[in-house]
Amino acid sequence: MHSHNYLSIINVQLYKPDPVSHKDKKYFIDGSIYNCPFCKRGNVSYIIIDQGSFDNSNTKTAHFYIIQCTDCGKESFHLSEYKLDTRSYGHTAKKFTFPPKQVKVNLLSERPSSTIKDIFDRDGNHVQELDDAFYHSQPTAYFTIDERIPASIRKPLNECDGSLKNNFLTGASAGLRKAIYKLLKHEDIPERNHDDRIDLLKEKYPKLEPELLDELKAVHTLTSQELHENDWKDFDSHTLKHLLEVTREILLEIYVIPDETKKRREKLSELKKKAKPKKT
């Protein structure tokens, strides 16, 4: 019995969601759970505690949602161009329906009525993820704000993410180039031609998949000076999405995962110190 208890303690204290798994990169995992940007807990329950709308321009309405983590109680802010369908949860709380749907209000009919409809993006794709239904979140995405990633890299990466969500491809491309530029600088990679610098980064991190780093060869950066946005062609949105994810993955591997592993090992050795060998 005693050894059984000991094992359950390890499970509770050491379990952490795998930081590289895809679902942990999202804000909303489904209609019930999300990754809290404050307590950094994955798979926690959220509720919508407030929502409303305002005129963003003469023709556009923005819908805002305040989301509260049911674990730490902190609140985040999310903007969408859609009035999102919600379902009641408990007496007053609400959650989003999943996959997300929008509420279309028909003001032209005599009695205003509303219908629930699927969401399609600009390219006509069916929006299946809640994250894709929002164009701005504060705090910004879960992993780009991980403070273990140096701020000089995090900031342009957030710019890239935000611009991409608004379909500003020039800003997004510049943000990505700047992030890679800052990454190479932060890692003290000497100034050479771009491909050689990426190869040097590969040598510095032999545990990182070289194929992943090779993807960064597409993201040319200038040396010795800040970037001029007009020097390179913009990436298209699909390429940007891919390169942004590749970059996040690399940053996780370099700055986040080694620290997570170190902490888990420390916890293990702490437990080991307390665990007294059984007398036979």
> Which residues of this chain interact with Zn ion, rule CB under 5 A?
36, 38-39, 69, 71-72
CA distance 262 to 269: 11
Q: Which residue number, 12 or 107, has a Cβ lying nearer to Zn ion?
A: 12
Backbone angles phi, psi at 118, to 5 degrees: -65, 160
Q: Which residue number, 71 or 245, has a Cβ lying nearer to Zn ion?
A: 71
DSSP H helices in the chain: 2-14, 151-165, 169-186, 194-204, 210-214, 237-251, 257-274
Cis peptide preceding 112, ω within 30 of 0: no
Decide: 174 and 229 in contact? Cβ < 8 Å: yes
Q: Which residue number, 69 or 180, has a Cβ lying nearer to Zn ion?
A: 69
- Nearest approach in angstroms of CB 26 to Zn ion is 15
- Nearest approach in angstroms of CB 72 to Zn ion is 3
Roughly what angle, to the nearest 10 degrees, separates helices 151-165 and 169-186? 160
**Ramachandran assignment for 43, one of left (phi > 0), alpha (psi -120 to 50 degrees), beta (any other):** left
- Nearest approach in angstroms of CB 151 to Zn ion is 22
DSSP of 167-187: T-HHHHHHHHHHHHHHHHHHT
Q: Which residue number, 143 or 181, has a Cβ lying nearer to Zn ion?
A: 143
- Nearest approach in angstroms of CB 274 to Zn ion is 28
- Nearest approach in angstroms of CB 89 to Zn ion is 17
- Nearest approach in angstroms of CB 68 to Zn ion is 8
